[in-house]
Chain A
Amino acid sequence: MKNLLKSRNTGLIAVLIILLVIARFLTPGMFTSTSLVSMLQNNTIYALLAIAEMMVILTGGIDISIASQLAFVGISCTTLACSHPGIPGIVWVLFAIVLGALCGALNGFLVGYLHMVPMICTLGTMYIFRGLAFVVSGGQWWFAAQYEELNGYRTFAIGQFLGLPIILWITIILLVVAGLFLGYTSAGRRIYAIGTSRESAAVAGIKEPKVTFYSFVICGAVTGLAGMLYTANYAIGYYGMADGFEMTAIAICVLGGVSITGGKGRMDGVAIGALIMSVITYFISMIPGMSVWQKSLQGGIIIVAVAINYFTEQSAKRQALKERSALI
């Protein structure tokens, strides 16, 4: 019980409940099942990107190219699907995952094997993927009308299964699978291991380049999937789409308790973080005149979240010192 109270997730859930209560009073129509579902559906892309980003942040790196990757993969799927309208949607889902994994592999190779600084490397590839998105699309925009003509392209986002949109099922399943992967497989635990101490990892025989590489590949694959689902969900595609989404993904991770220096953080925290973020975005979209506040609110949330992390760590340190002084 004591542990439960202390846990960060409990605090996050409390914040979530408070937000929902406030939302209830500010926007009375919110608690219908349809509006809740649409809130989740509209923000699920953020959750997917947060899963992807988390893989890299846990190793102690960062990937700021995911939004560009998303645009590149989404646009590539759209362009190809439009020129081959007969191919079923599932193919494009798989294609997106593979293409995304390739993008991630490029980052992973540069960071893992050529030892580039993740921030700078992904800064470079951010440019490259965004540019490629333009080249592939030729600057063209796609809208709902064009997407509707494609055979089953949109099904994977907006199709219904057991009363929920499929995109939500995909997100939920991915959250669970990624959580299991990180918690219960050697590959997943190795990601934590290199994030917590590279030196110890080397002594324990963990190959750091390899782990970095596959964490980026997983990140890319999930991002790729998100790219295809983005176009399918919103039925819009252009080379500049999802601009700045990487920041939101990072914000969700930090909010969910993922340490930016690596090695710490759990999937359940990220899931709750994503929920909080979607409630806030929903708020903003519901209240007239609030949309301009979105950016500064998100920015403010990250700073406050990191600052809270800092202060909790400080107090934990003080606590540890107190425990130690009993031995003196």
Chain B
Amino acid sequence: MPGSNYDRDLSVKEGFVLKKFLVKWEMILVYIMVLINVLLAVIKPDLYFTHGTVQSMINAGLDVSPLVLGMVFILLLGDIDVSVAAQMILGGMVTGLLMDKGLPSLICVIVGIIVCMLCGAFNGFCVAFLEMPAVITTISTSMLFRGIVEIVLGENSLKNFPKWYNKIGWMNIGGIIPLSMVLFLIMGAIFIFVLHKSPFGRKVYIVGNNPTCANYSGISVKKVKMQVFILMGFMAGIGSIFFIGRMGGGLSSSMGTGYEMTAIACAVLGGVSTNGGKGKMWGPIIATFIMAFLTYALGLMGIDPNTKKIVIGVILIVTILISTINKQMIKDIKLRLFYHNNKNIEAINDRTAAAVKDMKKQIKELEKGNASDKAAQIEKLNKKIEAAQKECKEKSAQWWAEQQENAKKAKERFK
């Protein structure tokens, strides 16, 4: 192999940096959650001392949690699945119908989940093999699935579900820890493992970021997509248990509308990009709790569920906008506002800023040291800084004037 003078240490140098960790999106979510709780505690102080309120907050918000976990995988692929609520209801209906027939509850539940997985497989087939856009596919399958429920159930509702469903929705272990939270955290841990440690998770990231490259690397994009959609179906099946439990063991065809949107909102709030490939698992898990507290808190403040939609919509849009802000964007805005779209002005300002920063650093070092001509040197540097800044200002002004002149000329010419 090529031999001459190559000496580089490629091993990982930067370990854990607290400063970076604290401004991670996931940590910001934690702050938001704390903030919401503090606000709640201030506004409704009795809340935290009333037995069971916090628990019911969590219980009320977690019926959507299995859908969130599945949705993260879908979004990581760069796809979307808006049929999850319909899948959930369809799976629940199958379970309920079989229960009515008197079959053993375990079989009914498993069959319900399998039906959901088949729904997911159908979506996956359309998206992966027929190359249909995921939005259109799942919009239409959501109509299809919910339509089937409407055909079968009509105005009726199902009441016969396993007894332990209700416990998932309402029980607190030892009267303190909500069962749904425990189950959600266990599932979350499994999902974190699958996404961040297993080869399958790695494949999802690769496919989500660059499907063409995945194909060239010997990863079957179709297979991965299919698997993820089936996994989503499985989670919709689990979701039906949580949902029906929360609803007190009843199901009708119009229930659970909008749950797909809440699930997507939680995932996006958790930092998962809808373009695919970006996001971590723990963000959406925290975001699910935030959403739970938020919805309950808004309810407590006497805001009705429809007005709440406005808040959720605004939060969704604002968080996505915040996550798109990056250095480049700030640079662009600066360029537009301060440098009159003139890259020459931007360049000299950047250069001067860098030079000034460098010199200021030198001054600091000089101050620390005890060279004999310390004062004189500092004085010299300070003068230099002043000169540089002055020159930068003058040049900028001059170029700006030139640019305006040019623009005028251009305007006349192009008239």
A and B touch in the complex (CB under 8 A): yes
Contact A247 B139 (CB under 8 A): yes
**Once the chains are docked, how many angstroms separate the CA of A292 from the CA of B311?**
33
The interface residues of chain A lying within 8 Å CB-to-CB of B313 are 124-128, 131
Contacts of A301 on B, CB cut-off 8 Å?
140
A10 at the interface (CB under 8 A from B): no
A119 at the interface (CB under 8 A from B): yes
B137 touches A303 (CB 8 A): yes
Asked whether B139 lies within 8 Å of A128 as measured between CB atoms, the reply is no
- Chain A residues with CB under 8 Å of B265's CB are 123
Q: Which residue of B lies closest to A114 (CB)?
A: B321
- A135 and B317 within 8 A (CB): no
Q: Which residues of A contact B135 (CB under 8 A)?
A: 62, 119, 260
List of B residues within 8 angstroms of A126 by Cβ: 261, 313
- Residues of chain A from 179 to 209 with CB closer than 8 A to chain B in the complex: none
- Give Cα A254–Cα B312 distance, bound, in whole angstroms: 30
Q: How far is the CA of A135 from the CA of B133 in the complex (A)?
A: 35
Q: Which residue of chain A has its CB nearest to the CB of B140?
A: A302
Q: What separation, in Å, do the CA atoms of A179 and B310 have in the docked complex?
A: 35
A130 within 8 A of B: yes
Complex Cα spacing A130 to B306, Å: 7
Q: Which of A123, A127, A292 contacts B151 (CB 8 A)?
A: A292
A297 and B147 within 8 A (CB) = yes
> Among residues 93 to 149 in chain A, which have CB atoms less than 8 Å away from a CB atom of chain B?
110, 114-117, 119-121, 123-128, 130-132, 134-135, 139
Asked if A295 meets B314 with Cβ closer than 8 Å, knowing A114-B321, A120-B320, A307-B132, the reply is no
Is B140 within 8 A of A123, CB to CB? no
Whether, in the assembled complex, B126 has its beta carbon less than 8 Å from a beta carbon of chain A, the answer is yes
Which residues of B have CB within 8 Å of A306?
130, 132-133, 136-137, 140
Cβ of B150 and Cβ of A296 under 8 Å apart? yes
Rounded to whole Å, the gap between the CB of A216 and the closest CB of chain B is 14
Give chain A nearest CB distance to B284 CB in angstroms.
15
Nearest CB to that of A135 among chain B residues?
B307
Give A100 to B88 CA distance when docked, in angstroms. 34
* CB closest chain-B residue, reference A253: B136
B330 to chain A, nearest CB (A): 14
CB of B143 within 8 A of CB of A110, answer: no
A254 to B132, CA, bound (A): 12
Which chain A positions have C-beta within 8 A of B154?
Answer: 292
Q: Is the CB of B132 within 8 A of A123?
A: no
Asked whether, in the complex, the Cβ of A128 is within 8 Å of the Cβ of B314, the reply is yes
Q: Which residue of B lies closest to A313 (CB)?
A: B131
**Beyond A114-B324, A119-B80, A303-B144: 19 further Cβ-contacts under 8 Å?**
A115-B324, A116-B320, A117-B275, A117-B320, A123-B261, A126-B313, A127-B316, A131-B311, A134-B307, A254-B136, A260-B136, A292-B150, A293-B147, A294-B147, A295-B150, A298-B143, A303-B126, A306-B130, A307-B126
Q: What would be 26 A-B contacts, judged by CB atoms less than 8 Å apart?
A: A114-B324, A116-B320, A120-B274, A120-B316, A120-B320, A124-B320, A125-B313, A126-B261, A126-B313, A127-B316, A131-B308, A254-B136, A292-B147, A292-B151, A294-B147, A296-B148, A296-B150, A299-B140, A299-B142, A299-B144, A299-B147, A300-B144, A303-B132, A303-B144, A306-B130, A307-B130
